[in-house]
Amino acid sequence: MSEAAVPVLLALTTAFLFGVSTVTAKRGLMVVDAQSASLVIIGTVVVIYLATSPFWMRAQDWFTLGFWIFVVNGFMHPFLSMYLALEATARIGPTAAATLSATAPLFAALTAVSFLGESINAWISLGTAFTVLGVMALSWGPSGAGTLLRAALLFATGAAIVRGLNHTFGKWGLESMPNVFMAGFVSFTISFCCALLVYRLRTGTMIVRLPRAGLRYFVLTGAIISVAILCMYGGLVSGKVVVVSPIIAAYPLFTLLTALLFKQEKLSTKLALGVFLVVGGVVLISRGSAAG
């Protein structure tokens, strides 16, 4: 396997896991509000990382610049981005919510080029455009345009901006602390504290009462996301933000494929067009990554 292929494969794995987690989260959101859901999901990720910490935690990581970068990052992601994404998913469904969220690679590329000095060649630029258009094609539905503009403009676009910044912050932090487990643990622990504080202020209690069915889906979602985050940071360690970010943004493709598997979606021209554009975009980005 070539060195350039590693971040591409890790980003594809991340997209697959995020896509599946969107479906499981949507099932739980049928009976639970987005704020409680995000608290349980983030908490599950923290518990998983903490349980495995004897295998990966290193004392020196606590005294690096990267540690503090991920502390700051934790105030934005996943706390804010997950809450915004879940609100959009609950209001307009998992695929429609992805339409404006698909713009995350644009924000990631802008900040990566501006602050990290990364460069974008023609292959990566074209591939990013294909991927963004493909995700929008998969997600867009004219009949829901009014709802999309009212709800998703605020929530999904907000999530896209935060996710785009997260990729750039993640790459920056990993340069001085290349421990993907620690990166995920620090960010999610800070986010969990933020989520718990907001939940306490809004509800007056720290006790989260959920139906068993909802709890099961959110714990499963958290477990899936815990692996996805490791793959995402692994991709950022070994590759560029401008390569990894647009591929991860293709996760709605896997959301749709999962929905097709469980017969929640039907094959259509829109689906075929979206798949063609996303797959073509990933191929072009891979070509651009190999070309340097």
* % of the chain with per-residue pLDDT over 70: 86
Q: Which residue has the higher pLDDT, 283 or 55?
A: 55
What pLDDT, on a 0 to 100 scale, did the predictor assign at position 89?
66
* Confidence band of 69 (pLDDT split at 50, 70, 90): very high
> In which band, very low, low, confident or very high, does the pLDDT at 84 lie, cut at 50, 70 and 90?
confident
Q: What is the mean pLDDT of residues 88-116?
A: 74
Higher pLDDT, 196 or 253: 196
**Three-state helix/strand/coil letters over the chain:** CCCCHHHHHHHHHHHHHHHHHHHHHHHHCCCCCHHHHHHHHHHHHHHHHHHCHHHHCCHHHHHCHHHHHHHHHHCCCCHHHHHHHHHHHHHHCCCCCHHHHCCHHHHHHHHHHHHCCCCCCHHHHHHHHHHHHHHHHHHCCHHHHHHHHHHHHHHHHHHHHHHHHHHHHHHHHHHHCCCHHHHHHHHHHHHHHHHHHHHHHHHCCCCCCCCHHHHHHHHHHHHHHHHHHHHHHHHHHHCCHHHHHHHHCCHHHHHHHHHHHCCCCCCCHHHHHHHHHHHHHHHHHHHHHHHC
Q: Higher pLDDT residue, 131 or 185? A: 185
* Stretch 221-228: mean pLDDT: 97
| pLDDT tens, residue by residue, 135-184 | 777 766 655 445 444 555 567 677 778 888 899 999 999 999 999 999 99
Q: What average pLDDT does the structure give for the chain?
A: 84
pLDDT of 98 over the 70 cut: no
* pLDDT beyond 80 at 94: no
Residue 107 has pLDDT above 60, yes or no: yes
Looking at residue 231, its pLDDT comes to 98
44 vs 104, more confident = 44
pLDDT at 219 over 90: yes
